Structure 1
Amino acid sequence: MKLETQFPARDGRFPIDNKDGACKMTRGVVALLAVLASLGSSAAGQVPVPANGCYHSAFTPNYQAGGAYGHDDFEALAQKKIAIEMFYTGWPANRTPDFPKTQCDAIVQKDAIPHVTWEPWVNGYPFPLDGIISGTYDSYIIGYANAVKSWAKPLFIRVGHEMNGDWYPWGGKNNGGGTLGGFGDPAKADGPERFIASFRRVRRLFDSVGVTNVSWIWCPNNGSAPAEPWNQPENFYPGDDVVDWIGLDGYNWGTSQTWSGWVSFYDTFKDIYSKFTSLSKPMMIGEFASAEVGGDKGKWIRDAYLFNKLIFPRVKAITWFNINKETDWRINSTGSALSGYQAAISDPYYLSDIVTTTVENESGELPGGFRVDEAYPNPFNGSVIIPFVAPRGRQVQIQIMDVLGQEITSAAMQGQGAISYYRWDGTGAPGRSVASGLYLAIFRTPTVTNTKKLLYIK
């Protein structure tokens, strides 16, 4: 999706002046005063990652201005409870710690988990994020961290989201961009390096006061602005040791803007999702929605939640952005949109409550050294490849079946003790192309069965 600088950020804010001549750069290291405690239950530690399913989540502004709907209104429209509620809060100009306890309490009273999108509207010199890196905001961050620790309930914090865009003061473009040699490693772009340094400083300051109840989200946008090599989202990744969840943001703007066109959910997220599947982190759609104009929004919504379930299994929470702003993002922008949302989210795969058990193994490894990886591309309209690993000499029976249980085709392959590939071209015996739809690829050994879902689109 092409992004332009002229539209405002998702929460309606615009960049601020980044000049603060009084802020002197330093390169001090924050001393850790306490070791991060071991994670406990959801009552005292982080939000559990569901082994099966995906949390139903939404941004539901608690006011009516601009056609927004609050928590209760949204659930009534959706006909389903949300497990996570996202909202925005900015760093104040007076640098007084302002953890939104009242709003978090209200969300917990609704039996949901708060997701705080914490926006660093900061001043620094010569770039905004220098204010964080230099330590100017340390007392504010530590005060906020102590308030979070005292609150003592699990929550998400998403700090500095969409950093690969140019519409926020914390974005790489506004913090040195692709310039080399002005900060950190002279071989790396200064903008991403400043973001990484600021993210890590915030996280380490929380760690230093013993905060253990935050699940930290690092969340790039699906498209980068500017779309230059230095500004690709992977260049902003601050490290496994400071990230708990990987968030992904993206929107179908339809034809609501002069620069936009209709884009499917799959095309919105496929590239950025694939960039980070190698990391051992759960993923979250941090915010997403569809415009009404330019296509069938109800169908887009139904397809979105179906594709998320079938194609993006690492996504463990998905957050609808429910407001009428640049365009009407609401689930009830029309009756067909609302019925589409209600139908999509009625799937029990989308969880209304926080689980009590968590994912223990996301590698796909099965007993006996047998593993079936994700199919690609999926959805497909030519052929699809499914990688698998089986012990050398182990017989693997493969069936392609439709959702009615009828066999389309079958094959037998021998395990190689390394990765092997099964390819299906969307045909059945005797070589006739199948109809568009959902199919099952079933891999069997004498002791294990594993099934992958395939979506064929002509």
Structure 2
Amino acid sequence: MRRLATALAVLLAAALTGCGGTSAHHTTTGAGTPRPIATDRGPLDGGPVRPPARGAYLGAYAKPDPVTQPGRIMAVDDLQGQLGRRLDVVHTYRKWADPFDTASDRAFQAGGAVLLYSWAGTDTHQITAGRYDGLIARRARQIRAMGRPVLLEWRWEMDRPNLRAQMGSPAEYVAAWRHLRGVFAAQHVTNASWVWCPTADGFAAGGDAPAFYPGDDEVDWLCVDAYPGRRVRPLSTVLAPFLTWARGHRKPIIVGEYGAPKSYGPAVRAEWLRGAAAEFKANPQIRAACYYDSDPDRDRPVERYALRGDPAALRAFADMARDPWFNPKS
């Protein structure tokens, strides 16, 4: 009977471990083991925005509510207040026809941050044909007028299947990229570092992200947007295919977006974030990382990444913010 009771106790403990969202098994899966893959320490040339000689810039997108100029500033200030420090990189998004050099942009620059612009696209055929040359030239002059170096990421996640009608083939995307750069060059823009940013999944089996690469002569920073999805996967697993590709290019890397969904639960989510910080440190070619501090307008729990309301996740990110590796300006 004693042996039977012991066996039942072991089975019960195993069942509870398998069901609990904060179990040791799930926590280990969330953190993972850092994989040193992109270990090139440089020096690496990122164009006008110089990568730190050692360590990585800390950045984030903080979703504004409302989406106004004061709202953008308030969202970043609120996150910085929770972290107890300023961000090195402020990530902001622009639709194709939206202007640069706004009041919030200037405020972030005045606070010492480098701006990472994610600029949406339009039909690549029309760009290459010159239909938007006037708009592109205006945006180029706005970037030039800002004076300080900025990171310019045109049409991030171009490898997503739902963008294929707009992007066309990889060759058509690359032609549009080169046309954009040509218009910027004609406007004598010398303060923009060009950032190429596909999805991490685009480097896994069946993905075609590498085919969209414009070439080392056209790109200053390599970038990737990396999310684990519904199943708990450590960031080391998500990033591995991209890092394996990127280590063949002597370019600094910025993780443009990453996040741990709230659906994981506070404990797993916090450990996932600590694992992410360890992964960045294990791959010194990564010179900047931007958290996606936002929940979507639609109700999809797996895409809810905001740190607000989750003290454990916020502490994990704040610990990263205090790490000397992510304070390269100090």
Q: Which TM class, normalised by the smaller chain length? A: 0.7 to 0.9
Task: Please state if 1:218 is matched with 2:189.
Answer: no
* 2:15 alignment counterpart: none
From 243, 262, 267, the counterpart of 1:273: 243
- In 1, are the aligned partners of 2:54 and 2:328 still within 8 Å (CA)? no
Aligned residue in 1 for 2:292: 321
Superposed displacement of residue 100, structure 1: 3.5
Corresponding residue for residue 61 of structure 2: 59
Structure with larger RCO (C-alpha < 8 A, sep 6+) = 2
Alignment-derived partner of residue 147 in structure 1: 142
Contact 1:248 1:273 in 2 (8 A): no
TM-score w.r.t. the length of structure 2 is 0.77
- Out of 61, 72, 78, the residue aligned to residue 73 of structure 1 is 78
Q: Secondary structure at the match of 2:140?
A: helix
Of Structure 1 and Structure 2, the greater helix share is in 2
Contact 2:254 2:288 in 1 (8 A): yes
Q: CA RMSD in A?
A: 2.4
Do 1:306 and 1:344's aligned partners in 2 also have CA atoms closer than 8 Å?
no
Letter in 2 for 1:55: Y
Aligned match of 2:171: 193
1:7-406 equivalences under 5 Å are 46-64=48-66, 70-92=75-97, 98-120=99-121, 122=122, 128-168=123-163, 172=164, 174-176=166-168, 191-224=169-202, 228=206, 232-253=208-229, 260-294=230-264, 296-310=268-282, 312-325=283-296, 326=300, 327-351=303-327, 353=329
**Matched residue SS, 1:216:** strand
1:185-204 Cα shifts (integer Å, max 9, x gaps): xxxxxx10111001111111
CA distance in 2, matches of 1:159, 1:151: 18
Checking the alignment, whether the CA contact within 8 Å between 1:292 and 1:333 is kept in structure 2 is no
% identical equivalent positions: 24
Q: Runs of 4 or more off by more than 6 Å in structure 1?
A: none
Distance of aligned partners of 1:270 and 1:225 in 2 relative to their CA distance in 1, 3 Å threshold: closer
Paired residue type of 1:243: V
* Paired AA for residue 219 in structure 2: V
Structure 2 unaligned blocks of 5 or more: 1-45
The C-alpha deviation readout for 1:265-291, integer Å capped at 9, x for no partner, is 111111111111111110000111110
Distance 1:175 1:158, change over 3 A: closer
Range with bigger deviation, 319-328 or 215-224: 319-328
Q: Residue by residue, what CA displacement relative to the aligned partner does 1:369-395 show, whole Å, maximum 9, x if unpaired?
A: xxxxxxxxxxxxxxxxxxxxxxxxxxx
Cα deviation, residue 225, structure 1? 10
SS in 1 for 2:201: coil
Where structure 1 has 5 or more consecutive residues not aligned to the other structure, the ranges are 1-41, 123-127, 177-190, 254-259, 356-458
Deviation at 1:113, TM superposition (A): 1.1
Question: Using the alignment, how far apart are the partners of 1:55 and 1:226 within structure 2?
Answer: 26
Letter in 1 for 2:114: I
Q: Which amino acid aligns with 1:49?
A: P
Instruction: Answer with 1 or 2: which has the greater Rg.
Output: 1
Report the TM-score, using the length of structure 1 for normalisation.
Answer: 0.56
